[in-house]
Structure 1
């Protein structure tokens, strides 16, 4: 007989005790398991070109132009639809990526190592706000910025991190940022400042070119999302530590590709449970409305999976100026998530709740029984490729994926 409570306690304890350390920066093909020259990784569950959303298609086109394999939309589409270029989820390669999440073989990626359990996770570098690849933009200026990040900033970050044997403890960084008004998903201002301050002396140490060092530090310092990508990889490393625990009903992956929302469950291996995504509800930039929005997209829901992001909104009441609502709404979002989770985090705590741990470990049984899907805060992409971000807001996964997972769990464990 499976002891579900014990299995869930094991899974969540492993997630919480995981200690993700940023160890370095390297080229994706050299470090990501299974990466190959004809492969593009993307956010969410598996997707084909034919079913892909506008921003996902745009990011695929941009990545192939970046790689020098295509020169326009038509040539990129031909490569993918012919099968010459393959598409696979980041999550199936120990990686994550925000929004479209497209990662190509030549791109530089952060390397996170969970020093408690030994697993690793990876994420690409953050481009900042505006017209960027992760939102489906692929114009010349987007590709130029990517190449600067890859060819100039990336090697400096790699050299800088190589001088620090201890790496950067992302769990400790997150714990501090939560006490400074971040929630770790859409509000990362404090975390990005901490991140840049830890990198700055290392960059100064390895870079003889003062102008380049200044440009890199300005780029990191001006981008309030600089730390998001290593945070996502850290959350992936933590969530993966709780995966494949026999009998556990804890969710270890939540991810969206703009078309489908998918989850994976600790005790159900690598099977995806998917349903069509919802459209986020929130605040739109000037000139845009909900009619312009793409469906929910991105791997950044790995933050909520690990107990931060929308689950920690009570730590970041100012986030409502970005995603809509009131400070009380932010508090209520966190309080609601305690109802569907297994534990309160040992290391991620919320000052406004007397340092109560964040709700951690979504239990598919509780989601279905109570009819409460997880709360997620997210950026909103334009539905057409090339436009970019048009707002930010709140969204929930479709209830159907939790019902599917619970049925699969019953078939595996409860049918004799």
Structure 2
């Protein structure tokens, strides 16, 4: 059988996201953007999931959504609805959305909407960047009140900004890489660039008032604000690349907390799944590895397009939080280049001789080398309501990539032994400690 990697140039699927421009076109409530949602139909991250199988933190988020939508008067009543399976969960990817961590998305939740030049659209939730959040499985009154406040106060201001000025998310991504972000774990530069443009537009059109001031304070305090814009933009870029005939390029990496799954450009909408891993992460002081919930969420789409852990060389701050040296980062980057197509031009790394990021994960290359892609991830506690207890990098299991490779005619299939890769050296390991903001 011919070697599918022989004489291979850049894959057309990955090239599709090189030229696509993504702009913010509004802020809305999710039910306006996705009319299929209702009080008991919610979007969830990752591969398809029955509500009965939701992990405890996601179940807690579902309870919060039912309370927010007025479907239950208290958590006990919400739990009964779940136990009777009166709640329907839909994979977010089916709606062109992203849902972070162990959260869900219900119609009353605020979202950011992004669009490309051809009118394709994606969206994702707008919420607090840290602390108690629904995406961490927290649903107390303060969390729900904050969601309502964002919908009532923040959404109208940001929606007006989107009407006043073009906010090109892909350009902000490229520039923030040059300023120390890798656009997943760290979005400080991206948030600053976004806010500068947004509030310059408001001031330039003489928009002011108490709500504008309140929103400015909230945005300034939200160090992860740009993530709410970057993840749906990455989803849109990946969707543009999906459906290229026979392409082995990965267009989805996502986990529902029970199963981790991938989708491949040339394999239609088939999911290839395995058990969700935990990964090697940095835990906050006082927590043990046994406390860590498996990785969850749709935000690994950042790594799909070459950002996040694939662009770690852009962010010395994130590398230092992991306890990695410059040598570790270089070794990691070399490993990621082994499993991706040739680097593109859009996203370049100052910390890697200004080469393009390692993007376009190729399932045949993963199967051949035995190297799993790495992703940046937050970690929530296995027990609902505790919230985030750490974060770091997880190297993904190769089983679904090998299965996809076999399905697409690769020589290194799901039942084939995969030799360890010796060409890129050992994988760096993190250290325990406190994860910095």
Q: Could you state the TM-score of these two structures normalised by the residue count of structure 1?
A: 0.93
Q: SS at 1:69's partner residue? A: coil
Alignment of 1:52 with 2:54, yes or no, is: yes
* Aligned counterpart, 2:335: 336
CA distance in 1, matches of 2:47, 2:40: 19
Alignment of 1:179 with 2:181, yes or no, is: no
* Aligned counterpart, 2:370: 371
Structure (1/2) with the larger helix percentage: 1
CA distance in 2, matches of 1:87, 1:331: 41
Q: SS at 1:361's partner residue? A: coil
* Aligned counterpart, 2:380: 381
Report the alpha carbon displacement of residue 278 of structure 1 after superposing the two structures with TM. 0.9
Note if contact 2:51-2:88 (Cα within 8 Å) is conserved in structure 1: no
Note if contact 2:39-2:69 (Cα within 8 Å) is conserved in structure 1: no
C-alpha offsets along residues 119-174 of structure 1, whole Å, 9 cap, x if unaligned? 2111110312111111000111111111111111112211221222xx21111001
C-alpha offsets along residues 297-334 of structure 1, whole Å, 9 cap, x if unaligned? 11110000011000000010210343443343233222
* Aligned counterpart, 1:224: 223
Q: What pairs with 1:70-81 in structure 2 (closer than 5 Å)?
A: 70-81=72-83
Q: Could you state the TM-score of these two structures normalised by the residue count of structure 2?
A: 0.88
Note if contact 1:97-1:124 (Cα within 8 Å) is conserved in structure 2: yes
| Structure 1 pair 202–76 and aligned structure 2 pair: CA distance change class (3 A) | farther
Q: SS at 2:62's partner residue? A: helix
Q: Structure 2 stretches of 5 or more lacking a match?
A: 414-437
| Structure 1 pair 211–329 and aligned structure 2 pair: CA distance change class (3 A) | farther
| Structure 1 pair 204–83 and aligned structure 2 pair: CA distance change class (3 A) | farther
* Aligned counterpart, 2:214: 215
Report the alpha carbon displacement of residue 385 of structure 1 after superposing the two structures with TM. 0.9
| Structure 1 pair 84–376 and aligned structure 2 pair: CA distance change class (3 A) | same
CA distance in 1, matches of 2:131, 2:277: 23
CA distance in 2, matches of 1:271, 1:130: 35
CA distance in 2, matches of 1:308, 1:338: 13
Q: What pairs with 1:4-403 in structure 2 (closer than 5 Å)?
A: 9-32=11-34, 34-115=36-117, 117-164=118-165, 167-204=166-203, 210-403=209-402
Report the alpha carbon displacement of residue 253 of structure 1 after superposing the two structures with TM. 0.3
Q: SS at 2:282's partner residue? A: strand
CA distance in 1, matches of 2:356, 2:350: 9
C-alpha offsets along residues 336-391 of structure 1, whole Å, 9 cap, x if unaligned? 11110012121100012221000110000000100001011111111111111111
CA distance in 2, matches of 1:206, 1:106: 29
Note if contact 2:100-2:297 (Cα within 8 Å) is conserved in structure 1: yes
Note if contact 2:250-2:361 (Cα within 8 Å) is conserved in structure 1: yes
C-alpha offsets along residues 87-140 of structure 1, whole Å, 9 cap, x if unaligned? 01111110002212411012221111121x432111110312111111000111
Q: SS at 1:304's partner residue? A: helix
Report the alpha carbon displacement of residue 209 of structure 1 after superposing the two structures with TM. 6.1
| Structure 1 pair 189–310 and aligned structure 2 pair: CA distance change class (3 A) | same
Q: Structure 1 stretches of 5 or more lacking a match?
A: none
C-alpha offsets along residues 188-216 of structure 1, whole Å, 9 cap, x if unaligned? 11111111112113445679663322221
Aligned residues: 409
